[in-house]
Structure 1
Amino acid sequence: MTARSEDPLILNVDDTEAARYAKSRILQRAGFNVIEAASGAEALLRAARDKPSLVLLDTKLPDISGFDVCRQLKEDPHTAMVLVLQTSASYLATPDKVRALDSGADNYLFEPIEPEELVANVRALLRLGRAEQELREVNQRKDEFLAILAHELRNPLGPIRNAVELLRHFSPSAPPAEEKARQMIIRQTDHMVRLVDDLLDVSRISQGKITLRLAPVELGEILRGVVETAKSTVAARRHTLTAQLPSQAVWVAGDGVRLAQIAGNLLNNACKFTPPGGQIHLNAETVGAQALIRVRDNGIGIRPGDIHNIFNLFSQATHADDRVQDGLGIGLSLVKTLVDLHGGSIRVDSAGEGHGSVFEARLPLCAAPAAEPDQADEERRRAAAQPAHRILVVDDNLDAAEIVASLLRYAGHEVTVAHTGGEALDQAAAGVPDVVFLDIGLPGMSGIEVAAEMRRMPQLAATRLVALSGYGQASDRSKSLAAGFDLHLTKPATFEALSDALRAIR
């Protein structure tokens, strides 16, 4: 059978010329394209240059062992996905088989190898490789879809939330009914943002892209903030929330944002699955070398058969009678993953349906950080003395641009607005702003292109650029910074986020 250019390429590595020739002929007759290497070094060079679909790799080579060649192939990002079929001229002992697989080999064969066996193994591995490639492509499309979905959902959320914030600033003494309506809009908008973030977190965690910013964290302070944040949700369900927190500082090595997410998700879960008027109790204490966070409720409980699946992704065993299925079923899965990343553990107990639930998360304690000079007063003085700036806001969404501009004007800044890249460049050249809040997703000339052009304008050398985007993954932030932005804000950019950005860059 004659090989075609589109047929899979096989790299045959063997230092014995006769054996190498025999295996190449078998594969060529089966329709494969075959290239050869007689040493480990040559194999690595040809794999990097020619990008074969599969490497047929002898274990005994004159310079580098086949085990080490395999390991280097799998450790190199450019060749990590190349399939490796390892062969040996003598029977492999069990330790050698284990070593081969530990080095990353996808399978191994003993010589002499029957032609049919060799071809069948190669074809089987290539089928596996094609299936893995299809899964990677599906996963990539999923991630791209989630990123686009997050962007599209965040775009309208910003103007909604910021419009309410602006109303509160303009009319701080609104009637109770009006303020209650405003609070409801803010609460539901924030809930929508959390759902979007949860979706993206699932994608990041599944790819191992969650990175914890570990530092000594005082757990009581984190939990007090979580309780304060949960009050509106608790009140909406007419629950009673009690908290028993340690009187002494409890230090854990953790990521403060993620620890708050763990406790917040557990409280939100208790609120959702407890009928109105329920009792929820948050308790934190130290047990040996661990900190224990316990959330107890008298809600709907968990069936015995569901308790082992409760932390699975998209799992929702049941729901309260007064609610349809609530949320995405990913909150507890995120909790377990984040607890595991912190080196902790989590468990759940329930006496069954109608008897409530108890969730317990344990985290390792750490030593208190060394005391540092208190600079909080100085930071507050600097923040209070923040001068007014000339600011250009660029966004093709008219509502989003106007709301951000109104918030900044309310804070005392001089603000102009542009809706296209061309307008932004013209206004920046004429007015030389101190700061530009620039939407990434502009039509025509993108925000990245506008930023690059602004960085080439000498009169804007001192201008600071802040990216505004519905895309908030680490890769998006890196692209913004590489394009010349000083900061990247993920929509919806709240009044606090805008103010913090101005303090950070000026």
Structure 2
Amino acid sequence: MLQATLLAQRGQRQAELALNRQTQLMAVVAHELRNPLMTLCTTATLLPRVAADKIARLLEIIERQTGRMSRVIGDLLDVSRVNAGKLRLEFGDVDIADVVEDSLVTCRHAMARHTQTLRLELPSPPGSIRGDAVRLTQILSNLLGNASKYTPAGGEIALVVQRMPDAMVFTVEDNGIGISPRALLEVFDPFVQEQHAVKFNGVGLGLGLAVVRELAEAHGGSVEASSAGLGQGSRFVLRIPIRDGRRWTEAS
């Protein structure tokens, strides 16, 4: 009888924790979508009133905020597809230089706003690899965006690409706020954010790196994170084998 009571109490506590996590997640999602939406509404209101030479700037804001909303929704959908086993990769010959250039498109504005310096090193020639070009671009965009997000103004971010005998290795390194040893253990877990990161950049969904890990593994590859500690920057190493990756069978 006592054991049954204890089990019931444990089940109730677990249900309460799950409900709390769901409530917190909904609040974070609402926050992540509300902020860019409010910016869009304000910008749209200003468009008819501003001088012609200011319109380009407002359109740039609209593009940036819609991109932010799209990435939030995309990350949520990707996690859902992975959990359901419904994420599909389209494999083909992927030009490394094109993937790197495309991944930088979404990050250059943020780096420029924070006066961050980018150091880029590519093999000569960069060559190609078998993979999903869109998803490989997404992986690098997430890693570079994460580095920019947690690197102070004036900091440096490096992307180094190396071709090894059996894999293409992408290293993204920064001199930002770093990661604590404890946080490194769960840095790729979904919906997890270190308090140090929240204080620096605000609350987020904590999905970008989770998506990176899933997409890397879907290519038959891996991603690892390292940091000397808080304030010591971070380093992410992505390895994609030079062969076909694992295919996900069903599209969403």
TM-score range, shorter chain: 0.7 to 0.9
Report if aligned partners of 1:219, 1:250 keep a CA contact under 8 Å in 2: yes
Among 213, 221, 231, the residue aligned to 2:98: 221
Q: Tell me what 1:252 maps to.
A: 129
Q: Give per-residue Cα distances to partners, 1:111-131, cap 9 Å, x unaligned.
A: xxxxxxxxxxxxxxxxxxxxx
Alpha-carbon distance in 1 for matches of 2:128, 2:167:
10
Q: Tell me what 2:115 maps to.
A: 238
Q: Which contiguous aligned blocks of 4+ residues in structure 1 show a shift greater than 3 angstroms?
A: none
Structure with the larger RCO, 1 or 2 (CA within 8 Å, 6+ apart) = 2
| Corresponding position: 1:193 with 2:70 | yes
Which one-letter code corresponds to 2:158 in the other structure? H
Which one-letter code corresponds to 2:161 in the other structure? A
Which one-letter code corresponds to 2:221 in the other structure? G
Report if aligned partners of 2:216, 2:222 keep a CA contact under 8 Å in 1: yes
Post-superposition offset of 1:288: 1.9
Post-superposition offset of 1:341: 0.4
Q: Give per-residue Cα distances to partners, 1:268-311, cap 9 Å, x unaligned.
A: 11011112221111111112211011100000101112111111
Alpha-carbon distance in 1 for matches of 2:197, 2:222:
25
Q: Tell me what 2:87 maps to.
A: 210
Q: Give per-residue Cα distances to partners, 1:24-72, cap 9 Å, x unaligned.
A: xxxxxxxxxxxxxxxxxxxxxxxxxxxxxxxxxxxxxxxxxxxxxxxxx
Q: Secondary structure at the match of 2:106?
A: helix
Q: CA RMSD in A?
A: 3.2
Among 192, 199, 202, the residue aligned to 1:324: 202
Task: Tell me: CA distance 1:184–1:243, structure 2 relative to 1, closer, same or farther (3 Å).
Answer: same
Alpha-carbon distance in 1 for matches of 2:189, 2:94:
28
Report if aligned partners of 1:339, 1:363 keep a CA contact under 8 Å in 2: yes
Report if aligned partners of 2:87, 2:251 keep a CA contact under 8 Å in 1: no
Report if aligned partners of 1:339, 1:345 keep a CA contact under 8 Å in 2: yes
Q: Give per-residue Cα distances to partners, 1:455-493, cap 9 Å, x unaligned.
A: xxxxxxxxxxxxxxxxxx955xxxxxxxxxxxxxxxxxx
Alpha-carbon distance in 2 for matches of 1:329, 1:322:
14
Post-superposition offset of 1:321: 5.0
Higher CA-based Rg: 1
Matched ranges for 1:116-131 at <5 A: none
Task: Tell me: CA distance 1:348–1:322, structure 2 relative to 1, closer, same or farther (3 Å).
Answer: closer
Q: Give per-residue Cα distances to partners, 1:213-244, cap 9 Å, x unaligned.
A: 11111122111111133111111222112211
- What is the TM-score of this pair, normalised by structure 1? 0.38
Alpha-carbon distance in 2 for matches of 1:338, 1:301:
23
Among 338, 361, 364, the residue aligned to 2:215: 338
Which one-letter code corresponds to 1:230 in the other structure? C
Alpha-carbon distance in 2 for matches of 1:174, 1:227:
29
Post-superposition offset of 1:174: 4.3
Matched ranges for 1:26-41 at <5 A: none
Q: Tell me what 1:20 maps to.
A: none
Post-superposition offset of 1:328: 0.6
Report if aligned partners of 2:88, 2:251 keep a CA contact under 8 Å in 1: no
Which one-letter code corresponds to 1:260 in the other structure? T
Q: Give per-residue Cα distances to partners, 1:168-206, cap 9 Å, x unaligned.
A: xxx9x942x543332122101110111011111111111
Alpha-carbon distance in 1 for matches of 2:52, 2:178:
41
Which one-letter code corresponds to 2:135 in the other structure? R
Q: Tell me what 2:17 maps to.
A: none
Q: Tell me what 1:94 maps to.
A: none
Matched ranges for 1:354-433 at <5 A: 354-366=231-243
Alpha-carbon distance in 2 for matches of 1:218, 1:366:
14
Among 258, 267, 280, the residue aligned to 2:144: 267
Task: Tell me: CA distance 1:199–1:336, structure 2 relative to 1, closer, same or farther (3 Å).
Answer: same
Number of residue pairs the alignment of both structures matches: 213
5+ long unaligned stretches in structure 2: 1-21, 245-249
